[in-house]
Amino acid sequence: MIYKHFIHLFITIVLGLALPAWASHEHGSEHDHHQPEEYDAVSTVMHHIADANEFHVWKGVHIPLPCFLYAPGHGWTILSSGKFKHGHQAVDRYVLNHGRVNRIRSEDFPMGEVHIDGIISKEVEVEKNGKKEKKEEYFALYQGKEYPLDKPSTLDGGILGGGITSFYDFSITKNVASIMLVALLLILVFTAVARGYKENDGKAPRGIQSLIEPIFMFIRDEVTRPMIGEKHYERFQPFIMTLFFFILFCNLLGLIPFFPGGANITGNLSVTLVLALMAFIVTNINGNKHYWQHIFWMPGIPAWVKVILTPVEILGVFIKPFSLMIRLFANITAGHIIILSLIGLIFLFGKNGTNVGGAALGAVIGGLFTAFMNLIELLVAFLQAFIFSILTASYIGAAVDEGHHHEHEEAH
């Protein structure tokens, strides 16, 4: 009997976790709308882990999001992303390309709402440092002419296609909307927990309170108290808890393949940049005399070592938050890329819908591996939230610690 239950559970898990297959399929076909020859695994994956200016729900169903766009020399353009009609209408030279707002570079293109015939991608040769390189560029078709598009505007320096371009995108994107959702969830959960403590004062915890209390105790006993020290830990408990639960909720929401989830929030460099910046500011504001002395003139070592050590320590102040930023971003993005690549096997083996047998084989292999990877990602979601908070706590601990030399060794 137990064996039978196990089989049922296994099938449910496999089916449930293989759900991204459907989400991916729509995009696979949508993506190849303009170039029907082959399934392009890399750009499909990149499209899925990138941010978007509209929230994709189901085949053909998108939730438009507000766009706040600023271009130097033109000013603000504020509109709903539904106005772009999925790349068939340009507004003030802005178009929607694969869910992201791009801008038409050319001055000849008319302003206002203009119907365009579509967006195509072409490989063009670009001269770069004297070397000719092939690059994929997008063009808007309008009245038989091709107008080149500027890349979307992102803060991450263009790692996932973007960068600082001719305009600034302050829109409420998919990620921003998801962050708001996470904030709302956190407020709901934690006001309920706080109410629970008020009502059951002196009694055993009830409901959602019993779910959160062990995590709270875990953070206190395993993270903040040993890392920051008995004297100061209560001051930083709220900050570390906020970091932990925000990252955890973002990670878990990113693992849900359908509508309210699916945004790669903590896999966005701009988001992790802000989180790491907060850790950096809190650490250095609270740094005491001993902390700064250890950075600029480490006591108890020969003078010539100090000359070498001081630049290293100063660099370390910046490298610590930088590694926090990269670690979270890379872990979550790598997980999403692996899952999407495994789902992509279906379309790769199935030759994008023409070979049903290959697609079925891909579905079996990809589905099983996706189920497995999703379980690992569940672990990673908790682990990365834990790692981020424990490392932040250890940096803060080094900053507020009062002169125990042997303890400093650990924190570096």
Partner 1 sequence: MGAIGAGIAALGAGIGVGLIGSRAMEAIARQPEAVGDIRNNMILTAALVEGAALFAIVVGLLSR
| Alpha-carbon separation of residue 121 from 146, 148, 302, 358 (angstroms) | 10, 10, 62, 28
12 vs 323, beta carbon nearer partner 1 = 323
Q: Give the range of 60-68, 259-267, 322-330, 362-370 binding partner 1 by CB under 8 A.
A: 322-330
1 vs 379, beta carbon nearer partner 1 = 379
CA dist 242 and 284 (Å) reads 18
179 vs 325, beta carbon nearer partner 1 = 325
CA dist 65 and 380 (Å) reads 30
Q: Give the range of 92-100, 115-123, 257-265, 324-332 binding partner 1 by CB under 8 A.
A: 324-332
Which of 264, 331, 370, 374 forms a contact with partner 1 (CB under 8 A)?
A: 331
8 A C-beta contact, residue 338 and residue 373: yes
> Is 334 among the residues that bind partner 1 (CB under 8 A)?
yes
> Is 391 among the residues that bind partner 1 (CB under 8 A)?
yes
373 vs 391, beta carbon nearer partner 1 = 391
Which of 18, 390, 398, 411 forms a contact with partner 1 (CB under 8 A)?
A: 390
CB of 242 to partner 1, least distance (A): 20
3-state helix, strand, coil split of the chain in percent (to 5) is 60, 15, 25
CA dist 368 and 349 (Å) reads 15
Which of 323, 351, 375, 376 forms a contact with partner 1 (CB under 8 A)?
A: 323
CB of 299 to partner 1, least distance (A): 26
255 vs 385, beta carbon nearer partner 1 = 385
CA dist 67 and 64 (Å) reads 9
8 A C-beta contact, residue 174 and residue 260: no
CB atoms within 10 A of CB 188: 11
Question: Looking up tokens 């189920």, which residue turns up?
Answer: 371
Strands 118-128 and 94-97: unpaired
Task: Show contacts with partner 1 in window 105-164 (CB under 8 A).
Answer: 159-160
Q: Give the range of 98-106, 170-178, 386-394, 400-408 binding partner 1 by CB under 8 A.
A: 386-394
8 A C-beta contact, residue 45 and residue 344: yes
Based on the number of CB atoms within 10 Å of its own CB, is 147 exposed (0-12), middle (13-18) or buried (19 or more)?
A: buried
Q: Give the range of 72-80, 132-140, 251-259, 330-338 binding partner 1 by CB under 8 A.
A: 330-338
CA dist 219 and 385 (Å) reads 11
CB of 42 to partner 1, least distance (A): 8
Strands 113-115 and 145-150: unpaired
Residue type, position 75, single letter: G
24 vs 331, beta carbon nearer partner 1 = 331
Which of 155, 213, 387, 408 forms a contact with partner 1 (CB under 8 A)?
A: 387
For 165, phi then psi, to 5°, come to -120, -160
199 vs 222, beta carbon nearer partner 1 = 222
CA dist 374 and 384 (Å) reads 15
81 vs 272, beta carbon nearer partner 1 = 272
Task: Show contacts with partner 1 in window 200-259 (CB under 8 A).
Answer: 222
> Is 386 among the residues that bind partner 1 (CB under 8 A)?
yes
Site residues (CB under 8 A) for partner 1?
Answer: 159-160, 222, 323, 326-327, 329-331, 334, 383, 386-387, 390-391
